Each structure stands twice: as structure tokens, then as C-alpha cells.
Amino acid sequence: MSPTLQPKNRITDARRRLFLQELRAHGIIREAARVASPGSKHARGAEQSFRDLMARDPEFAQAVEEARREADAALEREIHRRGVSGFEEERIDSRGRVSVVRRYSDACILAMARARLPGYAKSDVAISGALKHEHTEEGSRAIAEAVRKLAEQMASDALPNTIAMLEADA
């Protein structure tokens, strides 16, 4: 087929590479197809074109699965970071003073537990509480102690090996 007779929206090697690169970043096929198909008027049409290509080309389908696994691993690393290592957040009090606090995501820890631990899909598990401290070494120790106690509480309520898992990740 001559270049002038080729379909306007043919999936070129460059579009394949862009699709896979975008898919590695977030794992969302429709969004990756939209980015790799800037001239497409409909995201679903672009997505379907790439899904059709996956059905026809086993090597491309394998590359898509590998890209999605990479995106899943990045997501898992971020869930772990937010739940176990924590993240810093600036707070401004009523007098305009800025302080930095380290926060942890209980939801991320629970998501990891539900994904990794058989039988831990309890939907009735709830954790609440608040920690407030100035960003000091002493405050960091206080947070670490509070997280340890929280892990102990979770372990006693759910599975005995939760604390060992959290300590192994630290």
C-alpha cells in the first residue's frame, strides 16, 4: 500500500512506543490511547484501535501487559511509601505559622494488607485518631511509636504477623 493510501490514523511504531510509555506511567489503557492518538476525536475509538492491535499482535499484547505490570509496581511502591514511610505535609496555623508534619495513610496500609494477606479483606476494620507535633526529632520518635502501637492494634485485631511485616518493611 502506498503512503498516500494508508489510513490517516494508522498505528505507527512511534504511536506504539508513545502508547507503551504512557501506559507504564499510569496503567490506564484509554488514557494512553488518547495521548498516543492526538488527532482522534473519540477516546473510545482510539482505545479500541489499540485493543484491536493487541488482539492481532501477540508481541504488542505482551508489551502492553509488561507496561501495565510496571505501572502496578509503581502504584504499589507509592501505596507503601504513603502508608509505611509517610509523607510530609505543611500546616499553617491560625497565626500564619508554618509547620511540617509527617503523615501516614492508614488507608494505604489497609489496602496493602487486603491485597497481600489472605483473609484480611475485612470491610469493618476502621482506624481513627490524630497526631499533632512539631517537626522535631522527638516528634518523629513520637510518630514512629504511634505507628508501632497502631500496627500492634491492627495485628491483635486481625492477623498476628502484621507487625512483623511492617517491621520488615521499615
Q: Are residues 91 and 56 in the same domain?
A: no
Q: Are residues 48 and 96 in the same domain?
A: no
Residue 4: inside a domain: no
Q: Specify the pTM.
A: 0.57
Indicate the residue among 73, 100, 125 that finishes a domain: 73
Segment (H or E) for 90: strand 87-92
- Indicate the residue type of 82: R
Residue 104: inside a domain: yes
In whole angstroms, what is the distance from residue 110 CA to residue 144 CA? 18
Structural domain of 62: 9-73
Q: Are residues 56 and 107 in the same domain?
A: no
Q: Are residues 57 and 106 in the same domain?
A: no
Q: Are residues 57 and 99 in the same domain?
A: no
pLDDT tens, per residue, the chain with 170 residues: 444 444 556 889 999 999 999 999 999 999 999 999 988 887 788 899 999 999 999 999 999 999 999 999 999 999 889 888 888 999 998 999 999 999 988 888 888 888 888 776 655 556 677 756 556 777 777 777 888 887 777 666 554 454 555 555 55
Residue 1: inside a domain: no
